[in-house]
Amino acid sequence: MLWIDPYFPYEELSSTASENRFLRVFVDQPTELILTYTATVDVLHQELMMNQADFLSVKQLEGDVLTYLFPSRYCQSDKLSRLAQKLFGEIGSSYEKVVAITNWIYDNVEYISGSTDSQTSAFDTVTERSGVCRDFAHLGIALCRALTIPARYFTGYAYQLQPPDFHACFEAYIGGVWIIFDATKLAHLNGLVKIASAKDAADAAVASIFGSVKSNSAIVSCEALEPFIPFTYDPNHKMGVAY
């Protein structure tokens, strides 16, 4: 449910280019606006066995997936190919490669609130080694694409995230399925509710603001209606989570 206070008319938009829907609110006079959105959501996810033979070469990828191989505003995979090849090129399967990318980012990039801004990209983060969830996701995506693994940005709500906030992670296309990864290791992979997925944050903003707007604050909260058992990664049973 959506409350717009004070009320302004809105409309829903969709695009053939993605599954994302846009909600457009047109505010034609200066005001202090409060947007409230609540929803009860069924989280449907699968836990899938990731086997050795999961690598889809470029010759097997569907037309809709190819775009996720190419560099984008915040994921300059074209600049990271030697580095990605050196760090992860020898690792066996796609799934193991992306797990290794996730671990490498977690081990090498420090999560520091406020250390980056809306212009920070994977090319910065790979060297400067600090950032927030968005930066961790962009770097993960860029490294996957540099290894010819399609990858996309995923933004959503994360159950039990501390402190509660929007979250960003990424999906890699493995064995014909989009498998989710979180290089910050802050969220339960089976406790995510998708807001949008896209090539990177440029196309998957939680809000795109045009005109002169000053943000005050955002309050995000998320609770489970049923008992929740966090998905735990077990290196012996290679399982991936897909939505």
> Footprint of its own copies on this chain (CB under 8 A)?
13-18, 22, 24, 26, 58-59, 62-64, 66-67, 69-73, 76, 78-80, 82-83, 86, 108, 110, 118-119, 123, 126-130, 148, 202-203, 205, 208, 210
Q: Nearer Cβ to its own copies, position 11 or 226?
A: 11
Structure token pair of residue 237:
């049973």
Nearest distance, CB of residue 131 and its own copies, angstroms: 11
Q: Nearer Cβ to its own copies, position 180 or 196?
A: 196
Q: Are 68 and 133 in contact (CB under 8 A)?
A: no
Q: Nearer Cβ to its own copies, position 209 or 219?
A: 209
Nearest distance, CB of residue 32 and its own copies, angstroms: 20
Nearest distance, CB of residue 202 and its own copies, angstroms: 5
Nearest distance, CB of residue 193 and its own copies, angstroms: 22
Q: Are 95 and 179 in contact (CB under 8 A)?
A: yes
Q: Nearer Cβ to its own copies, position 38 or 119?
A: 119
Nearest distance, CB of residue 122 and its own copies, angstroms: 9
Q: Nearer Cβ to its own copies, position 29 or 118?
A: 118
